[in-house]
Chains A and B, each alone.
Chain A
Amino acid sequence: MINTNSVFGEFLEIGEKLKKGYETLKSIDSVEVATTPKELVWSCDKVQMFHYIRETPAKCKTPVLVSFAIMNRHDVLDLQPDRSLMKKLLDEGLDIYIMDWGYPSKADRFLSMEDYILGYMDDAIDFIRNAHKIDKIHKMGICQGGLFSMIYASIFPEKLKSLTTYVAPYDFKNANCNMLFKWTKYVDVDTMVNTQGIISADMLNNAFSMLKPSMDIAKFFGVLEMMDDRDKLMNFLRMEKWKNDCPDLSGEMYRKYIKDLFRDNKLVNGEFELDGKIVDLKNMTVPFLNVYATEDNIIPNESTVSVMDKIGSKDKQLYAFPGGHIGVFVGAKSQKELAPSVAKWVIERC
């Protein structure tokens, strides 16, 4: 039997909650993310670099440059004051710069991986070296930004004091370990790039959302219950804002990323070329901290961990963070344990 009273009552309740949701959400004028103060210090085309403003002198004089994935905004690293990896690292005594890759448009379809790594990233690092009159800086990279930083460190180890990466993909050997890895095996990347020019963020987001198809529906049941708790609701909205704010990708960069790295696994196989030169991971000799999330459903652990045996660094450490891909930057444990540990590791190598 169906308890018609209960079922219809349920629909009425949802209606009531939606009405309340409407009132609450309508009263919200702005959803602010990335509020930790910072200033623009360098820019080239659409790429910018910001310097976080410190109130007190840094414990480590050598600055750190952080690069996030190109396909997402770095704002998630500073989502809100009590969930900000950047703020926590500043509090722990680091002097931090951050890259903002910008929003590529159709005009940027020809930007290549060379432009990003040998161009923008290298120029930004040179800018910091000149500004601080130092030879080496610390580098941090997250996800795709970690992979790019690893490539950079293999080419220019002389410019880095250390490299820290979080949840970065390196080894793409096992295409079956994850749905996204598998799809890249089949995707007709040439047609995609030749016809689209730039790769739309919506398309990539759709692919990501298929890792858990119910997510985009099921989460709103939770939201219905948040209407009386403004803090909780604002947390949700900040995360939504970040999730929906994704830049498109330059086609040529994407082509190389998928074909050479994902599909042919050239970096780990020692065949990856940048500007005509082979990138040898054995040249990556700087101290290396490799952070991975044990419950990562986007970047499989084996892809992150196996790079440890391929690099030339003697001083290298693996850090297993108990949580998911995004939890590394926004989780409570990240604030309490991970950020202080990372800062300590960097300061020890200052």
Chain B
Amino acid sequence: MEKSNRSSDLIENVIDTHAKTVDQIVENSKKLTKDLPLVNETIDKSHKLFQQSVSSQKELAIKASETFEKTSKQMNNNAEMAQNFFKQWLENQMTWAKTNFNQPNIPAFNSDPKDWMANWQKFMGQNPNPFASMMNGNPFFSMMQNNPFMNMNSMQNNMNENVTNWSQFTKQYLDMMNQSYNEWVKQFSNLTAADTFKGMSNMTESLNKFFELWMPMFKSIQDKSFTAESFMNSLNPEKYKAFVDSFFKFMPEEGQKMMEQMNTQFVQYMKHVSEAGFNGYSSMKSQMQQMNGLNQNPYSNAWDMYHNWRNAINEAVSPLTKLTNENGPVKNVKIWNDINDLMVEFNIKNNELQYLVYQNGLKVMDRLSDKVANQLKEGKTIDSFVKLYQDWLVTGDEVFTELFNGDQYSKLMTEVSSLQMRLKKDIDDQMESLFLVNMPVATRTEMDEVYKSIYDLKKMYRNLEKMFSAEKTEQQEKVVPETKTSKKK
């Protein structure tokens, strides 16, 4: 809520500052053109238009803040629901514990945990802990001294925490392993072997993220309350996104890297040029991020919204820009405006593309959770997480190849790729003309010209060489019959 107000204030401030700047420009222009009533009238009209557009911008900003506020409320509701779910789960666990340890009179676990733990320890004593022997043979033994299974006697928590700790510990162990392997990979002398090891580590990383994603569901699996529906309800979008990103590594990571790089360059330049459109872009981007949920496609109208906003600005500002000379800075501002538009378009479409992948990934999860729910209903246990993950992979192949084969994805994917390249080219060109041109280095454009010249020269040389060789052969062929003729003579 507070955040929403802050961003709303910020946007309003930006819009107000921008409006004041334009007011100032209008006043100055009017002073300059005081002898030209017609021009003054045009300025007044366009100024009015601009003021209208400022109001509509403000309205848009307020609406966006309201949406954010609404989203926050929704999130709070979700948190409340999760809390209720937890309470329910706790009760289920207690029922389970009471049944298992034949102590129906325990009013609540916290009242006297010792009795419960004593029974639990007794129970464990009858079944030698299989982890203990496994740990002894493990090279990471020393690093696992504090795991909950090895210190069962000192555990003062209930079975609920046991499951939680188990999953958290497993996660810590997996994280730790990943860190070690990332370090180890530096020791390889052969690149293919190193890549293979890296691939194996990546595979486990993806498996870990899958594990992490399922962690909240372990409790409900343990108390047999797991259903496909409860899975989808407790799916953590952030963790889900991290898992899918780890699977389709190339797409979000590479895209983000590039966008980060471009954003840095963009921001640097815009600091100098100070163009209102950029502020609009930033606020737009931040609003989009805030509204980026998994339940509805937030991108379908985003581009239209942005376009309307841009058109309002352009309509208001264009009469003014006609009065200014087409000098270097004005041209640059226009170019950066176009880049700005392109960047927004890329961001929207790239997000939409990723959204398609996440959405289809949910289909895969849905099918998998159905399978797990059925398995549990039949009284089967989940013995292998790797098997579960492999099931995800197989189902994923079916769903994702169907998606990738579809027209919607194909079109969008190629469009995003094209936008990305155009954006990079436009920014590279600007960097070249603004900064690199004054540096004692060859620019990309200059190098391309050199490459073209070399290519043409090489081609010409090869053609001449072939012509020369053909002529030589022809002459040799001519020489032979002449000799024969002279002999006859």
- Which residues from chain A sit less than 8 Å from chain B, CB to CB? 1-12, 14-16, 18-19, 21-22, 25-26, 28-31, 44-45, 106-111, 115, 119, 179, 182-183, 185-188, 191-192, 194-197, 206, 210-214, 216-221, 223-224, 236-237, 240-241, 244
With A106-B447, A107-B451, A109-B451 as given contacts, are A221 and B203 in contact (CB-CB < 8 Å)? yes
Q: Which residues on B sit within 8 Å (CB–CB) of A182? A: 405, 407, 410
**Complex Cα spacing A301 to B415, Å:** 29
Within the complex, what minimum Cβ distance (angstroms) separates B125 from chain A?
16
* A186, B139: Cβ atoms closer than 8 Å: no
* B170, A11: Cβ atoms closer than 8 Å: yes
Q: Which residues on A sit within 8 Å (CB–CB) of B202? A: 217, 220
Q: Which residues on A sit within 8 Å (CB–CB) of B196? A: 25, 220, 223, 236-237, 240
**Complex Cα spacing A21 to B198, Å:** 11
Q: 5 pairs across A/B with beta carbons < 8 Å? A: A2-B218, A7-B385, A8-B170, A206-B250, A212-B397
Chain B residues touching A, range: 35 or more
Within the complex, what minimum Cβ distance (angstroms) separates A30 from chain B?
6
Q: Closest B-chain residue to A184, C-beta based?
A: B414
With A12-B138, A14-B204 as given contacts, are A115 and B166 in contact (CB-CB < 8 Å)? no
Give residues of chain B (160-202) contacting chain A, Cβ–Cβ below 8 Å: 163, 166, 170, 173-174, 177, 181, 184, 187-190, 192-197, 199-202
* A110, B451: Cβ atoms closer than 8 Å: yes
With A31-B190, A179-B405 as given contacts, are A11 and B199 in contact (CB-CB < 8 Å)? no
Contact partner, A1, options B134, B222, B418, Cβ 8 Å: B222
* B201, A18: Cβ atoms closer than 8 Å: yes
**Complex Cα spacing A237 to B191, Å:** 10
- Which residues from chain B sit less than 8 Å from chain A, CB to CB? 130-131, 134, 138-140, 149, 163, 166, 170, 173-174, 177, 181, 184, 187-190, 192-197, 199-204, 206-207, 211, 218, 221-222, 224, 247-248, 250, 376, 381-386, 390, 393-394, 396-397, 400-401, 404-405, 407, 410-411, 413-415, 417-418, 421-422, 424-425, 447-448, 451-452, 454-455, 458-459, 462
* B417, A7: Cβ atoms closer than 8 Å: no
* B422, A1: Cβ atoms closer than 8 Å: no
Within the complex, what minimum Cβ distance (angstroms) separates A231 from chain B?
15
- What are the nearest 3 A-B pairs in CB distance? A188-B418, A220-B203, A214-B393
Q: Which residues on A sit within 8 Å (CB–CB) of B400? A: 210, 213
* A217, B247: Cβ atoms closer than 8 Å: yes
* B383, A3: Cβ atoms closer than 8 Å: yes
Q: Which of A185, A195, A218, A224 has the most CB of B within 10 A?
A: A195
**Complex Cα spacing A106 to B443, Å:** 13
Q: Which residues on A sit within 8 Å (CB–CB) of B190? A: 25, 28-31
Known contacts A195-B421, A217-B393, A221-B203; 7 additional CB pairs below 8 A are A7-B383, A8-B166, A10-B384, A14-B386, A106-B447, A191-B421, A241-B192
With A25-B197, A196-B421, A237-B192 as given contacts, are A15 and B138 in contact (CB-CB < 8 Å)? yes
* B177, A25: Cβ atoms closer than 8 Å: no
Contact partner, A187, options B206, B404, B407, B414, Cβ 8 Å: B414
Q: Closest B-chain residue to A196, C-beta based?
A: B421
* B462, A224: Cβ atoms closer than 8 Å: no
* A240, B192: Cβ atoms closer than 8 Å: yes
**Complex Cα spacing A186 to B415, Å:** 8
Contact partner, B397, options A22, A44, A214, Cβ 8 Å: A214
**Complex Cα spacing A15 to B181, Å:** 10
* A220, B199: Cβ atoms closer than 8 Å: yes
Q: Which of B138, B192, B202 has the most CB of A within 10 A?
A: B192
* B382, A1: Cβ atoms closer than 8 Å: yes
Q: Closest A-chain residue to B425, C-beta based?
A: A195
Q: Which residues on B sit within 8 Å (CB–CB) of A236? A: 196
Q: Which residues on B sit within 8 Å (CB–CB) of A12? A: 134, 138
**Complex Cα spacing A221 to B404, Å:** 25
Q: Which residues on A sit within 8 Å (CB–CB) of B189? A: 26, 29
Q: Which residues on B sit within 8 Å (CB–CB) of A186? A: 410-411, 413-415
Q: Which of A186, A217, A219, A224 has the most CB of B within 10 A?
A: A217
**Complex Cα spacing A109 to B445, Å:** 13
**Complex Cα spacing A217 to B249, Å:** 11
Q: Closest B-chain residue to A2, C-beta based?
A: B382
Contact partner, B204, options A18, A109, A216, Cβ 8 Å: A18
* B452, A224: Cβ atoms closer than 8 Å: no
Q: Which residues on A sit within 8 Å (CB–CB) of B197? A: 21-22, 25
Q: Which residues on A sit within 8 Å (CB–CB) of B218? A: 2
Q: Closest B-chain residue to A238, C-beta based?
A: B192
* A26, B382: Cβ atoms closer than 8 Å: no
**Complex Cα spacing A106 to B60, Å:** 46
Within the complex, what minimum Cβ distance (angstroms) separates B5 from chain A?
42
* B200, A21: Cβ atoms closer than 8 Å: yes
Q: Closest B-chain residue to A30, C-beta based?
A: B190
Contact partner, B224, options A1, A21, A220, A240, Cβ 8 Å: A1
Q: Which residues on B sit within 8 Å (CB–CB) of A220? A: 196, 199-200, 202-203
Q: Which residues on B sit within 8 Å (CB–CB) of A197? A: 448
Contact partner, B404, options A31, A210, A218, Cβ 8 Å: A210
* B451, A25: Cβ atoms closer than 8 Å: no
Q: Which residues on B sit within 8 Å (CB–CB) of A45? A: 458
Q: Which residues on B sit within 8 Å (CB–CB) of A19? A: 139
Q: Closest B-chain residue to A114, C-beta based?
A: B459
Q: Which residues on B sit within 8 Å (CB–CB) of A212? A: 397, 401
**Complex Cα spacing A16 to B200, Å:** 12
Q: Which residues on A sit within 8 Å (CB–CB) of B211? A: 11
With A11-B174, A182-B410, A218-B390 as given contacts, are A244 and B221 in contact (CB-CB < 8 Å)? no
Q: Which residues on A sit within 8 Å (CB–CB) of B410? A: 179, 182-183, 185-186
Q: Which residues on A sit within 8 Å (CB–CB) of B199? A: 216, 219-220, 223
* B454, A107: Cβ atoms closer than 8 Å: yes
Q: Closest A-chain residue to B426, C-beta based?
A: A195
* B221, A2: Cβ atoms closer than 8 Å: yes
Q: Which residues on A sit within 8 Å (CB–CB) of B149? A: 8
Within the complex, what minimum Cβ distance (angstroms) separates B358 from chain A?
14
* B200, A18: Cβ atoms closer than 8 Å: yes
* A192, B397: Cβ atoms closer than 8 Å: no
**Complex Cα spacing A182 to B462, Å:** 38
* A111, B455: Cβ atoms closer than 8 Å: yes
With A22-B197, A109-B451 as given contacts, are A213 and B222 in contact (CB-CB < 8 Å)? no
**Complex Cα spacing A223 to B196, Å:** 9
Contact partner, B382, options A7, A107, A119, A210, Cβ 8 Å: A7
* A110, B452: Cβ atoms closer than 8 Å: yes
Q: Which residues on A sit within 8 Å (CB–CB) of B462? A: 44, 119
With A5-B131, A30-B190, A218-B390 as given contacts, are A213 and B397 in contact (CB-CB < 8 Å)? yes
* B381, A16: Cβ atoms closer than 8 Å: no
Q: Closest B-chain residue to A212, C-beta based?
A: B397
**Complex Cα spacing A191 to B423, Å:** 11
With A1-B221, A196-B421 as given contacts, are A179 and B195 in contact (CB-CB < 8 Å)? no
* A244, B414: Cβ atoms closer than 8 Å: no
**Complex Cα spacing A15 to B141, Å:** 12
* A192, B134: Cβ atoms closer than 8 Å: no
Within the complex, what minimum Cβ distance (angstroms) separates B363 from chain A?
14
Q: Closest B-chain residue to A25, C-beta based?
A: B193
Q: Which residues on A sit within 8 Å (CB–CB) of B448? A: 109, 197
Q: Closest B-chain residue to A217, C-beta based?
A: B203
Q: Closest B-chain residue to A197, C-beta based?
A: B448
Within the complex, what minimum Cβ distance (angstroms) separates A97 from chain B?
20
Q: Which residues on A sit within 8 Å (CB–CB) of B414? A: 183, 186-188
* A25, B384: Cβ atoms closer than 8 Å: no
**Complex Cα spacing A325 to B93, Å:** 54
Q: Which residues on B sit within 8 Å (CB–CB) of A21? A: 197, 200
With A1-B221, A25-B188, A214-B396 as given contacts, are A15 and B177 in contact (CB-CB < 8 Å)? yes
